[in-house]
């Protein structure tokens, strides 16, 4: 038996998981009465810590927190309306000037290929919308502390 005793960390590691320790540590604990008593104390301590019930509030914390969050008021913005009108007017002018070329753009494509392109675009759009909605639900569940 070695004269040096095991450190507190080594004894704690042995108490937590015996399979993950060095063979010398296990041999020392088997031979040393002082380290075995420390091990027994740690095992008892860890068992008691596991048996302690998790703390719980007797009130709903999420409602108290949500009541204190500031509510954003939606402000009417002329800037957003101006940008939207600008986009609509630009799109109208673009379609008016180049509309006749759009008809010729799709004349050479077969109907099956056109349906495949539209179906693929719709699938990607639906997937993106579902992903956005799932992210929204996750964020809302985090806010509700559920």
Q: Which residue has the higher pLDDT, 20 or 115?
A: 115
CA angle at residue 33 from 15 to 21, to 5 degrees? Answer: 30
Put simply, whether the predicted model's pTM sits higher than 0.75 gets the answer no
Q: Give me the residue label for tokens 């309306």.
A: 81
85-123 in b/e form (b: 16+ CB < 10 A) is eeeeeeeeeeeeeeeeeeeeeeeeeeeeeeeeeeeeeee
When pLDDT is cut at 50, 70 and 90, the band that residue 84 belongs to is very high
pLDDT of the residue at 87: 95
């Amino acid at each position: 038996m070695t004269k040096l005793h095991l450190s507190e960390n080594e004894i704690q590691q042995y108490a937590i998981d015996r399979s993950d320790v060095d063979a010398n540590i296990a041999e020392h604990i088997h031979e040393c009465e002082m380290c075995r008593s420390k091990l027994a104390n740690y095992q008892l301590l860890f068992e008691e810590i596991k048996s302690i019930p998790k703390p719980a509030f007797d009130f709903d914390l999420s409602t108290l927190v949500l009541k204190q969050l500031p509510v954003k008021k939606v402000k009417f913005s002329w800037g957003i309306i101006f940008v939207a009108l600008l986009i609509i007017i630009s799109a109208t002018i673009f379609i008016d000037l180049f509309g006749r070329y759009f008809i010729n753009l799709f004349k050479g494509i077969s109907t099956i290929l056109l349906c495949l392109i539209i179906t693929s675009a719709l699938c990607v759009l639906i997937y993106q919308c579902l992903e956005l909605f799932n992210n929204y639900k996750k964020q809302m569940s985090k806010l509700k502390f559920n």
